[in-house]
Amino acid sequence: MFFTIPTLMTWTRIVAIPLIVGVFYAPLAPETRNLVAALMFIVFAATDWLDGFLARKLNQTSSFGAFLDPVADKFLVCASLLVLVHLQRADVFVALIIIGREIAISALREWMAQIGASKSVAVHMIGKVKTTVQMVAIPFLLFDGRLLGVLDTRLWGQVLIWGAAVLTVWSMVYYLQKAIPEIRRRVKH
């Protein structure tokens, strides 16, 4: 199941990382770089929905795909945040919150799976909302201009990325609250 259509689409999100970073080193006008990077992020981020849809539709779900999908998402988001911090379009504090949460919750989920309690930290709506807000904020910040001559993407990207940081903390607290009863049960034994 390493090379099914859905899994290959997931791999594209990982392959996208050096491409998006590389755009900012290409001999292009800054506005062109911003547009290309934003469009690339949107296209590659869309594969997150599409690969899951195709996996179910083509009956090609696999444990490897279930593992790789969130890893690819986290790589794409974290790499993009680092680019944005480097370009001074995102605050380092926001990046630390989002990246730190991803590491902490991934570790928590791994541990909960090992003790047979993964359902207590299954993906919840707050996590999905956080991801959606991030996935809108990042291309806005990559674009860094006026969309259709009207929408200031830097301003809205900043608002949304800070909103994503708040949702990130909220979702981490939610998942930790769900995990604490299991953790307490394990510590007592």
pLDDT at 177: 85
Which tens digit of pLDDT belongs to each residue from 79-90?
999 999 999 999
Contacts 24+ apart (CB under 8 A), 61-64: 61/6, 62/1, 62/4, 62/7, 63/1, 64/1, 64/2, 64/7
**Can you give the residue range of the structural domain that contains 2?**
1-87
Structure letter (DSSP) for residue 91: -
Task: Give the chain's end-to-end CA distance (angstroms, integer).
Answer: 39
Residue 30 sits in the same domain as residue 113: no
pLDDT at position 8 is 86
- 109 and 176 assigned to the same domain: yes
pLDDT of residue 43: 93
Last residue of a domain, one of 28, 58, 87: 87
Count of domains forming the chain = 2
User: Do 103 and 161 belong to one domain?
Assistant: yes
Q: Which residues of the chain have pLDDT under 50?
A: none
One domain for residues 95 and 13: no
pLDDT of residue 179: 82
Q: Of the residues 41, 68, 87, which one is the last residue of a structural domain?
A: 87
